[in-house]
């Protein structure tokens, strides 16, 4: 739909964001017979996979698992080509879904939601867009993603830098040619580790400005094994159910033993076997990787040994060794040729821990008084994760406050689904839900289905308003932090902890109790009559 066609429309439900979450939500709302509309800031669907189209962008969840499970037909007809799907292939898949289920007619692209206001009298949300449109909706559902609010670091002089500037999370749609250029890249998380080997293929000179080294495991990506694909296609319902029954919602080979209960040789063989398989599964080598520092250190040291072997210059290798966090407590990275990139003569690692970046000027990054002349600068500096996109929406609840105003000491939510004082507003993969600690599509489906079932319940009972109870929310917020504090995750300066954003409160943002446990808790809440939620009936009932 063209943005100019929208004016003062009244909907049953408005969804924000056309990624995996928003598209499925829209589909389910339609099945409920609700008049629904979706706003998307980008000029295409795809969410994360629309914005992060930098060279090398690829998912680190196995292709056969990184897809919707809610349509057996869709599941059967789509063929993946590689072990891990590349960004372009996932984007094709999402576009296929949008077409196949005729979702586009209820989607307005290129339209950012910039404000929302609860109208208590009408029991409706008034939603405004950047273009000045206003619509109202009984239900507002955010599908804005956990890693969508990209951030550039605040470095003196960056605004004066005359070269090209890119952020991996806002990559241009037209191909960028770095051939013959002197390129700088900052950030060595999952995005940086993927983009760096690709930039090295083109750039005349590549400077990697690294503050913190990360642990990365080889992807061993390649064409998908046809037998693997066939096996999954033949057994999808069984495998999906098995995945949902795990803590990560991924069919992993979860280690069953502590590293400390194995002999040195057994341990070495096990780590080597898992390294040869590659992927994020490596972090699950032992059953106590995330809770036992000694066990974790054995796994960390194994990876350090691999890095030393892959990088020729021992000084560079030393700079690449992660020592400030336990493996996995910052999201483990998965790479294709990352470490050997540092053996190329035109690639230089600049260790910002030893020599911090001072400033940019028109043509260079100045580090410790030394100019690094640059034609382009790529920032892979991450996101204001989990809460950033929600806060940016500028939604005012019935208490007259926005999420940003309320969340000064950390986000508050009940089950990551609703926040007290924002009636009829659901947050798909909101703070305090497993979301990004899992195969996020599974978490999205669980949330969307829970919300759709809740709306069905409301229709059936002619309820018009739902809100979370304060006591239930307080208990949940406490539980989320308690579970996290039993793990090593809280010891890392990660985006999980809000540590990458100056001034952001240090609390653990997702729920680490495990997907299967969490989904069972959500189901239990329903079985107990939506325990912890208040319903009421005031205005017109939902349309049938």
Note the residues at the interface with ligand N01 (CB under 6 A): 58-60, 147, 153, 168, 186-192, 194, 211-212, 331, 334, 352, 380-383, 436, 495, 500
Consecutive H or E run containing 509: none
Residues 6+ apart with CB under 8 A from 187: 168, 379, 380, 381, 382
- Quick one: 28 or 331, whose CB is closer to ligand N01? 331
- Quick one: 125 or 496, whose CB is closer to ligand N01? 496
Distances (CA, A) of 408 to 81, 403, 405, 469, 491: 45, 9, 6, 20, 21
Kindly state the smallest distance separating residue 39's Cβ from ligand N01, in Å. 23
- Quick one: 188 or 285, whose CB is closer to ligand N01? 188
Kindly state the smallest distance separating residue 488's Cβ from ligand N01, in Å. 16
**Residue 430 has which token pair?**
């909101």
Kindly state the smallest distance separating residue 164's Cβ from ligand N01, in Å. 19
**Residue 87 has which token pair?**
């960004």
- Quick one: 17 or 189, whose CB is closer to ligand N01? 189
- Quick one: 194 or 412, whose CB is closer to ligand N01? 194
Kindly state the smallest distance separating residue 320's Cβ from ligand N01, in Å. 12
d(CA 470, CA 460): 25
- Quick one: 30 or 211, whose CB is closer to ligand N01? 211
- Please count the residues of the chain: 544
Kindly state the smallest distance separating residue 479's Cβ from ligand N01, in Å. 23
- Quick one: 334 or 480, whose CB is closer to ligand N01? 334
Residues 6+ apart with CB under 8 A from 520: none
DSSP state of 211: S
Q: What ranges make up the beta strands (E) of 109-194? A: 113-119, 124-129, 134-142, 164-167, 182-186
**Residue 58 has which token pair?**
């690829």
Q: Which residue has the tokens 């950390």?
A: 410
- Quick one: 367 or 418, whose CB is closer to ligand N01? 367
What DSSP string describes 310-375?
A: H-SSHHHHHHT---SS-TTSSPPEEESSTGGGGGSTTEEEEETTTS-EEEE-SSEEEETTEEEE-S
- Quick one: 473 or 500, whose CB is closer to ligand N01? 500
Kindly state the smallest distance separating residue 61's Cβ from ligand N01, in Å. 7
- Quick one: 168 or 413, whose CB is closer to ligand N01? 168
- Quick one: 64 or 147, whose CB is closer to ligand N01? 147
Kindly state the smallest distance separating residue 219's Cβ from ligand N01, in Å. 8
Say how many CA atoms lie within 13 Å of 82 toward its Cβ: 15
- Quick one: 196 or 299, whose CB is closer to ligand N01? 196
Put residue 328 in one of left, alpha, beta given phi > 0 → left and psi -120 to 50 → alpha.
left
Sign of CA dihedral 162, 163, 169, 173: positive
Burial of residue 443 (number of CB atoms within 10 Å: 0-12, 13-18, 19+): buried
3-class DSSP string for 253-308:
CCCCCCHHHCCHHHHHHHHHHHHHHCCHHHHHCCCCCCCCHHHHHHHHHHHHHHHH
Whole-angstrom Cα Rg for the chain: 24
**Cβ of 283: how many Cβ atoms within 10 Å?**
23
Kindly state the smallest distance separating residue 334's Cβ from ligand N01, in Å. 6
DSSP state of 206: E
Kindly state the smallest distance separating residue 429's Cβ from ligand N01, in Å. 12
Residue 113 near residue 343 (C-beta atoms within 8 A)? no
Residue 175 main-chain phi, psi, to 5 deg: -60, 145
Beta strands 465-468 and 533-536: pairing type?
Answer: antiparallel
Kindly state the smallest distance separating residue 489's Cβ from ligand N01, in Å. 13
- Quick one: 13 or 484, whose CB is closer to ligand N01? 484
């Amino acid at each position: 739909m063209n943005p100019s066609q929208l004016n003062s429309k009244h909907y049953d439900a408005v969804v924000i964001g056309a990624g995996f979450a928003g598209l499925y939500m829209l589909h389910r709302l339609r099945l409920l017979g609700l008049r629904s509309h979706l706003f998307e800031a980008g000029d295409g669907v795809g969410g994360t996979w629309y914005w992060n189209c930098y060279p090398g962008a690829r998912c680190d969840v196995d292709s056969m698992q990184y897809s919707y499970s809610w349509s057996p037909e869709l599941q059967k007809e789509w063929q993946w080509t590689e072990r891990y799907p590349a960004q372009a292939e996932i984007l094709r898949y999402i576009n296929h879904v949008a077409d196949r289920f005729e979702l586009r007619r209820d989607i307005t692209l290129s339209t950012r939601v910039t404000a929302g206001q609860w109208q208590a009298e009408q029991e409706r949300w008034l939603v405004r867009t950047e273009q000045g449109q206003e619509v109202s909706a009984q239900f507002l559902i955010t599908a804005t993603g956990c890693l969508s609010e990209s951030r550039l670091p605040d470095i003196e002089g960056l605004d004066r830098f005359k070269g090209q500037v890119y952020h991996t999370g806002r990559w241009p749609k037209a191909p960028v040619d770095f051939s013959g250029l002197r390129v700088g890249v900052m950030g060595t998380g999952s995005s940086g580790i993927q983009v760096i080997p690709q930039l090295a293929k083109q750039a005349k000179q590549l400077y990697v400005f690294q503050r913190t080294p990360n642990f990365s495991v080889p992807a061993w990506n390649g064409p998908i094994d046809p037998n693997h694909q066939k096996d999954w296609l033949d057994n999808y319902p069984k495998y999906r159910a098995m995945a949902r029954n795990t803590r990560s919602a991924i069919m992993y080979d979860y280690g069953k033993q502590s590293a400390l209960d194995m002999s040195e040789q057994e341990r070495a063989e096990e780590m080597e076997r898992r390294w040869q398989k590659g992927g994020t599964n490596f972090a699950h080598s032992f059953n106590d990787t995330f809770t036992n520092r000694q066990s974790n250190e054995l796994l960390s040291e194994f990876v350090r040994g691999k890095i030393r072997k892959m990088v020729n210059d021992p000084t560079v290798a030393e700079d690449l060794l992660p020592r400030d966090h336990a493996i996995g407590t910052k999201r483990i990275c998965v790479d294709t040729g990352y470490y050997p990139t540092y053996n190329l003569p035109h690639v230089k690692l600049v260790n910002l821990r030893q020599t911090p970046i001072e400033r940019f000027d028109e043509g260079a990054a100045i580090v410790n008084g030394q100019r690094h002349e640059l034609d382009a600068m790529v920032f892979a500096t991450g996101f204001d994760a989990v809460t950033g996109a929600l806060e940016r929406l500028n939604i005012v609840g019935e208490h007259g406050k926005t999420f940003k105003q309320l969340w000064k000491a950390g986000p508050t939510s009940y089950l990551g689904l609703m926040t007290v004082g924002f009636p009829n507003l659901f947050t798909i993969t909101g703070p305090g839900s497993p979301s990004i600690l899992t195969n996020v599509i599974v978490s999205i489906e669980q949330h969307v289905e829970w919300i759709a079932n809740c709306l069905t319940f409301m229709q059936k009972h002619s309820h018009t308003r739902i809100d979370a109870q304060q006591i239930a929310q307080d208990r949940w917020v406490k539980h989320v932090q308690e579970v996290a504090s039993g793990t090593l995750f809280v010891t890392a300066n990660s985006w999980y902890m809000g540590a990458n954003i100056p001034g952001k409160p240090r609390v653990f943002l997702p729920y680490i109790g495990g997907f299967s446990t969490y989904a069972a808790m959500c189901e239990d809440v329903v079985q107990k009559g939506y325990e912890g939620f208040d319903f009421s009936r005031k205005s017109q009932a939902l349309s049938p």
